[in-house]
Amino acid sequence: MNENELITSVLNGNTNAFGPLVTRYQELVFNTCMGFVHNADEANDLTQDVFIRAFEKLSQFNHQASFSTWLYRIAINTSLNAVRSKKSQLFQRMGSWFETENKAGFEMPSDQNLTPESLMLTTEQSALVQKELDKLSEKQRVAFVLSRCENLPQKEIASIMQISEGAVESLIKRAKTNLAKNISSYFKK
Partner 1 sequence: MNCTECQTKITSYPEEKPSPETLQSMKTHLQSCKNCRALYAASVWVDTFVTEEKRIKVNPFMTTRVMAQIEKQTALSPNSGLVRLLNPQVLLVAASIVLALFLGVSAGSFYQPATFTEQVPEEFQYLNDAGMESLTYLINE
- Residue 93 CB-half CA count within 13 A: 5
15 binds partner 1 (CB under 8 A): yes
User: Which residue in 9, 38, 42, 134 binds partner 1 (CB under 8 A)?
Assistant: 38
| DSSP of 68-81 | HHHHHHHHHHHHHH
User: What's the distance, CA 148 to chain centroid?
Assistant: 9
Q: Which of 143, 115, 127 is nearest to 183 (CA)?
A: 127
User: Which residue in 8, 55, 103, 138 binds partner 1 (CB under 8 A)?
Assistant: 55
Separation between Cα atoms, residue 101 and residue 2, nearest integer Å: 53
The total number of residues shown for the chain amounts to 189
Contact between residue 175 and residue 136 where contact means Cβ atoms under 8 Å apart = yes
Touching partner 1, residues 105-164 (CB under 8 A): 108-109, 114-117, 119-121, 125-126, 128-130, 133, 147-149
Our CB check for partner 1 shows the closer of 93 and 184 to be 184
11 binds partner 1 (CB under 8 A): no
Which residues would be at the binding site for partner 1 (CB under 8 A)?
A: 15-16, 18-19, 22-23, 26-27, 29-31, 34-35, 38, 40, 43-44, 47-48, 51-52, 55-56, 108-109, 114-117, 119-121, 125-126, 128-130, 133, 147-149, 169, 172-173, 176-177, 179-184, 187, 189
